[in-house]
Amino acid sequence: MKRSTATALGRHAVLIVGAAFVVMPFLWMFTTSLQSRAETYSNGSILPTSWHWENYAVAWEAAPFGQYYLNSLIMAAGIVGGHLVLDAFAAYAFARLRFPLKNAIFVVLLAALMIPTFVTIIPAYSLVASFGWIDTYWGLIVPRLADVFGIILLRQYFASIPSELEDAARIDGCSRVGIFFRIMVPLALPAFATLGIFSFLFAWNDFLWPLLVTNSDELRTIQIGLSAFQGRYGTSWNYLMAGTLTATVPSIIVFMFFQRALIRGIAASGLKD
């Protein structure tokens, strides 16, 4: 009994030291965001020593963070919506319907998942440029409306739903489309939640593609705006940290609310964006 208590204490000690290392940058970001400019060059305290909340207003005035936020939200909504609808349709076809070349198509998609994004990004960029989609929401959203990861995730889940339910519905005269909407979708809501969170985090945090297809402040997403803000105000650490924190908050909130669905998704699929 005594020994196991000691072991548990040991575990806690190591975990807390590790957690401190992990959390330190977040604390430092928060503390700095509330300091005056002079303090950022002299103060080593990890806990807030002053409370200059106006830094946030200054940062948001200095760059159109509101517009960046809006652009990121629009892009994320488009991508999440696209994944939930397009991936789900395709996943259902792969999980339940029988059609020629089914396995061949699926293998091609799996293989595409292994290809580094660097390979596809140059031709995809010139394609989007030739459509005249540079600096438009189309360019930000349409090329990412569907993804292979979501198809695999939902297909696995659909396949685990007992087919007796569908058989019963079919005997009752329900069409395939009806079965999809009335049986599969309601039963697969947890999987939809998982995919939705992955897709949101992917979209909100995405950098390289929005960097390539946007030029103007009107279309820049939050990550691109933040990176540009750093270029301009690189040494005004307090404002920079205030901007960085506001850009990070949505991901953290989503994570806190949907932690379970996210972790379940990783455990189930062992995949990431």
Work out whether 133 is an interface residue with other proteins (CB under 8 A). Answer: no
Question: Is the backbone of residue 123 left (phi > 0), alpha (psi -120 to 50) or beta?
Answer: alpha
Distance CA 74, CA 11 (A): 44
Q: Which of 14, 57, 159, 165 binds other proteins (CB under 8 A)?
A: 14
Phi, psi of 172 (to 5 degrees): -75, 5
Residues in region 188-217 near other proteins by CB under 8 A: 201, 204-205, 207-208, 212
Q: Which amino acid is at 41?
A: Y
Q: Which of 54, 61, 167, 218 binds other proteins (CB under 8 A)?
A: 167
Q: Which of 142, 183, 187, 193 binds other proteins (CB under 8 A)?
A: 142
Work out whether 160 is an interface residue with other proteins (CB under 8 A). Answer: no
Work out whether 19 is an interface residue with other proteins (CB under 8 A). Answer: yes
Q: Which of 143, 157, 196, 199 binds other proteins (CB under 8 A)?
A: 143
Angle at 267 between CA 151 and CA 26, to 5 degrees: 105
To the nearest whole angstrom, how small is the minimum distance from the Cβ of residue 112 to other proteins? Answer: 5
| Sole residue written with tokens 């339940």 | 96
Q: Where are the alpha helices (DSSP H) in 188-236?
A: 189-205, 208-213, 222-232
Work out whether 25 is an interface residue with other proteins (CB under 8 A). Answer: yes
Two tokens, residue 87 = 């991936």
Q: Which of 6, 23, 57, 77 binds other proteins (CB under 8 A)?
A: 23
To the nearest whole angstrom, how small is the minimum distance from the Cβ of residue 155 to other proteins? Answer: 11
Alpha-carbon distance values, 211 to 88, 207, 219, 243 (Å):
29, 6, 10, 18
CB nearer to other proteins: pick between 189 and 249 = 249
Q: Which residues of 74-94 are buried (b: 16+ CB within 10 A; e: fewer)?
A: bbbebbbebbbeebbebbbbb
Work out whether 162 is an interface residue with other proteins (CB under 8 A). Answer: no
Angle at 146 between CA 89 and CA 227, to 5 degrees: 150
Work out whether 176 is an interface residue with other proteins (CB under 8 A). Answer: yes
Work out whether 12 is an interface residue with other proteins (CB under 8 A). Answer: yes
Q: Which of 2, 5, 22, 216 binds other proteins (CB under 8 A)?
A: 22
Residues in region 66-125 near other proteins by CB under 8 A: 82, 85-87, 89-90, 92-93, 97-100, 102, 105, 108-109, 112, 114-125
CB nearer to other proteins: pick between 191 and 226 = 226
Q: Which of 36, 67, 136, 248 binds other proteins (CB under 8 A)?
A: 248
Distance CA 116, CA 208 (A): 13
To the nearest whole angstrom, how small is the minimum distance from the Cβ of residue 145 to other proteins? Answer: 5
Q: How far is C-alpha 61 from the chain's CA centre?
A: 27
CB nearer to other proteins: pick between 74 and 170 = 170
To the nearest whole angstrom, how small is the minimum distance from the Cβ of residue 54 to other proteins? Answer: 20
Distance CA 223, CA 247 (A): 7
